[in-house]
């Protein structure tokens, strides 16, 4: 029996090396000719299994390994979605940035790229997120404050000036008006001579988590879901390298959820999006391979690593067994990670550097595809340039100095990690079953179930902090008197005036009849349940309609969402 177990693993490994790893190595050679430890220089293999463990594997262990772990780049992807992971290509270092005007944000992006960042992540201000132009009365006092202000195609041109869109991927944290911002990127790319088929990036486009945890929604759920499936369809046909959604657990965790709830509610939302797209007539294998996810990296180091592994395995099974996807790319959970903003403290902000380093390391050990590391001063204000540089250097030290990127899933096989991965998966699956019984994520959200679960978890955590059961260094233990932080980024109040003037000039030089005609086409499509919207949005922004004008048309046609009284 022992020989049979060994032979089974040997055969599994041989198949993996030939069929999974081999094609990737031919397409993407490893970063180094060979990988070793520091001292002594011990050769390091790509991945470790029970075959490399001194004790001979027993048959039961071998079968469990094959079923639950397998090899990286192969179903069920517990050990990672790429067979050689960071040995071939490091994760994308994608710092989230944006503030003030498009001009100021463009300067920050060029600084980050010059410092070794490998992808952009755009933060938008609240008026943009809510579909208002900078000169709208409700935008007053908020323009450029928590992100960049984008009202027009001119703003997007400035934001992306001198950034090669065929080589730099763009991630945009935008939800309710996501389709319109994507249309602007497409229009700017075409002006640069970059065809939509060459664009790489992600639009968050996750409205369900806005109803759950964040609140920057505009339209009711039904038309909002229509917008999302419309982006799915358009991207699969015209922008095939673009991720049409980033299903976000990050904000669910920031609202106070547990790690289990983060997995469960995020994947439940993902199930809802896939089901809506399938119901709209889309072939699951036409779009599922471009779905992406967005997770939080919190303080409990080992739990976070297990969380990422559990989510990856659970999603693979959902896509293969529930939706009967046939393409292995549809089974893979690709995700971006951001370190936990809610874990940062205004007290003793230098402590945040340590927190972020541990959280970032957990994300890497958990197999993230891209990563944002928060800056130490984000509990006080938007990050300063120096703090952003330290945050980026944190990723680079992990990537180039720690050695953890040299081996795939280096903690795989740890008794505790594997036990915890199983427990998180089981408990998340129980939540998903309960949500299914309620009719799916949308129905569970409408009934307030998801929101209440998160609120209760957040309350329990706050109680634990206040009674000292949960220690937060510098807040409820090891407290010291400290001087105020001097280097804080403050957005110039002139940003609002500058944006309003730019918007006025933009409107004055456009063709009003062309704008009215394009907006009329948007309205007509909005009234027809099956009419494609994305082509109308692209035409409207190219005719120089503004973000607010397009959203106002949709507001008139669809109305606005107002949460129930119990929310």
- Topology of 86-466 in CATH? TIM Barrel (3.20.20)
- CA distance linking residue 96 with residue 267, whole number of Å: 23
Instruction: Give residue 1's pLDDT.
Output: 44
- CA distance linking residue 308 with residue 371, whole number of Å: 13
Most distant CA pair in the chain, distance: 81
Three-state SS at 370: strand
Tally of residues, the chain: 567
- CA distance linking residue 374 with residue 281, whole number of Å: 40
* HEC sequence for 191-225: HCCCCHHHCCEEECCCCHHHHHHHCCCCCCHHHHH
Residue 539 burial (CB count, 10 A)? 17
Query: What is the CA 465 to chain-centroid distance, rounded?
Result: 28
- CA distance linking residue 386 with residue 379, whole number of Å: 15
Three-state SS at 96: strand
Strands (DSSP E) found in 217-366: 242-243, 246-248, 292-297, 335-339
List, for residues 396-432, the tens digit of each pLDDT value.
999 999 999 999 999 999 989 999 999 999 999 999 9
Beta-carbon contacts of residue 7 (< 8 Å; ≥ 6 apart): none
Instruction: Give residue 225's pLDDT.
Output: 96
Three-state SS at 90: coil
Name the DSSP class of 56. Answer: P
Preceding amide of 76 cis, omega within 30? yes
Strands (DSSP E) found in 400-469: none
Beta-carbon contacts of residue 360 (< 8 Å; ≥ 6 apart): 297, 339, 371, 373, 394, 395, 398
Whether the Cβ atoms of residue 25 and residue 88 lie closer than 8 Å to each other:
yes
Residue 453 burial (CB count, 10 A)? 21
Whether the Cβ atoms of residue 533 and residue 564 lie closer than 8 Å to each other:
no
Domain range summary for the chain, segments of one domain joined by +: 2-71, 86-466, 507-558
- Report the candidate in 150, 131, 15 with the shortest Cα–Cα distance to residue 70: 15
3-state helix, strand, coil in the chain (%, to 5): 55, 5, 40
Angstrom distances, CA of residue 512 to CA of 313, 416, 517, 519: 53, 65, 9, 11
pLDDT average per 10 residues of sequence, the chain (567 residues): 71 92 91 79 84 65 83 96 95 88 92 88 95 96 92 97 93 96 98 96 96 95 96 96 97 96 98 97 96 96 96 98 97 97 95 98 98 94 89 96 96 92 95 98 95 95 93 94 74 84 96 98 96 98 98 98 77
Three-state SS at 561: coil
Query: What is the CA 220 to chain-centroid distance, rounded?
Result: 23
Beta bridge partners of 294: 248, 336
- CA distance linking residue 297 with residue 362, whole number of Å: 7
Whether the Cβ atoms of residue 250 and residue 338 lie closer than 8 Å to each other:
yes
- Report the candidate in 392, 384, 355 with the shortest Cα–Cα distance to residue 486: 384
- CA distance linking residue 125 with residue 148, whole number of Å: 5
Angstrom distances, CA of residue 298 to CA of 301, 307, 462, 469: 7, 10, 15, 18
Q: How many CA atoms lie within 13 A of 510 on its CB side?
A: 23
- Report the candidate in 77, 141, 147 with the shortest Cα–Cα distance to residue 108: 147
């Amino acid at each position: 029996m022992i020989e049979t177990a060994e032979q089974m693993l040997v055969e599994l490994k041989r198949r993996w090396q030939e069929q999974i790893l081999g094609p990737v190595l031919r397409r993407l050679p490893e970063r180094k000719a060979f990988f070793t430890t520091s001292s002594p220089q011990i050769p390091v293999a790509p991945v470790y299994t029970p075959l490399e463990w001194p004790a001979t594997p027993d048959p039961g262990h071998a079968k469990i390994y094959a079923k639950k772990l397998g090899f990286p780049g192969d179903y069920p992807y517990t050990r990672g979605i790429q067979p050689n992971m960071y040995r071939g290509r490091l994760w994308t270092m994608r710092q989230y940035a944006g503030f003030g005007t498009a001009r100021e944000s463009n300067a920050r992006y060029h600084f980050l790229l010059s410092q070794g960042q490998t992808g952009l992540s755009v933060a938008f201000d609240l008026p943009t997120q809510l579909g208002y132009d900078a000169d709208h009365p409700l935008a007053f006092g908020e323009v450029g404050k928590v992100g960049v202000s984008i009202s027009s195609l001119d703003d997007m041109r400035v934001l992306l000036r001198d950034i090669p869109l065929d080589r730099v991927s763009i991630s945009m944290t935008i939800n309710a008006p996501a389709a319109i911002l994507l249309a602007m990127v497409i229009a700017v790319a075409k002006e640069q001579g970059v065809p939509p088929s060459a664009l790489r990036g992600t639009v968050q486009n996750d409205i369900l988590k806005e109803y759950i945890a964040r609140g920057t929604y505009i339209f009711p759920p039904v038309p909002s879901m229509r917008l999302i499936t419309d982006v799915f369809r358009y991207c699969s046909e015209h922008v095939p390298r673009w991720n049409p959604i980033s299903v976000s657990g990050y904000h669910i965790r920031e609202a106070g959820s547990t790690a289990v709830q983060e997995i469960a509610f995020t994947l439940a939302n993902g199930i809802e999006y896939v089901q809506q797209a399938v119901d709209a007539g889309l072939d699951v294998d036409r779009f599922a391979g471009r779905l992406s996810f967005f997770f939080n990296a919190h303080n409990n180091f080992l739990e976070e690593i297990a969380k990422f592994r559990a989510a990856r395995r659970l999603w693979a099974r959902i896509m293969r067994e529930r939706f009967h996807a046939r393409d292995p790319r549809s089974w893979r959970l690709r995700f971006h990670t951001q370190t936990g903003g809610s874990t940062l403290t205004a007290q003793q902000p230098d402590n945040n550097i340590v927190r972020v380093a541990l959280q970032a390391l957990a994300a890497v050990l958990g197999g993230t595809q891209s990563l944002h590391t928060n800056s130490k001063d984000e509990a006080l204000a938007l990050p300063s340039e120096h703090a952003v540089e330290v945050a980026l250097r944190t990723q680079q030290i992990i990537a180039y100095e720690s050695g953890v990127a040299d081996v795939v899933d280096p903690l795989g096989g740890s008794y505790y990690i594997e036990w915890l991965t199983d427990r998180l998966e089981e408990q998340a699956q129980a939540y998903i079953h309960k949500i299914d019984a309620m009719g799916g994520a949308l129905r569970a959200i409408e009934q307030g179930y998801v929101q209440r679960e998160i609120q209760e978890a957040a309350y329990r955590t706050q109680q634990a902090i206040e009674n000292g059961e949960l220690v937060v260094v510098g807040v409820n233990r090891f407290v010291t008197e400290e001087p105020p932080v001097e280097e804080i980024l403050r957005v110039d109040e002139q940003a609002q005036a500058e944006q309003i003037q730019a918007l006025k000039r933009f409107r004055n030089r456009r063709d009003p009849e062309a704008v009215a005609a394009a907006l009329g086409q948007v309205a007509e499509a909005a009234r027809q349940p099956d009419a494609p919207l994305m082509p109308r949005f692209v035409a409207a922004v190219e005719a120089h309609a503004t973000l607010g004008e397009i959203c106002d048309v949709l507001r008139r046609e669809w109305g606005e969402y107002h949460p129930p009284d119990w929310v």
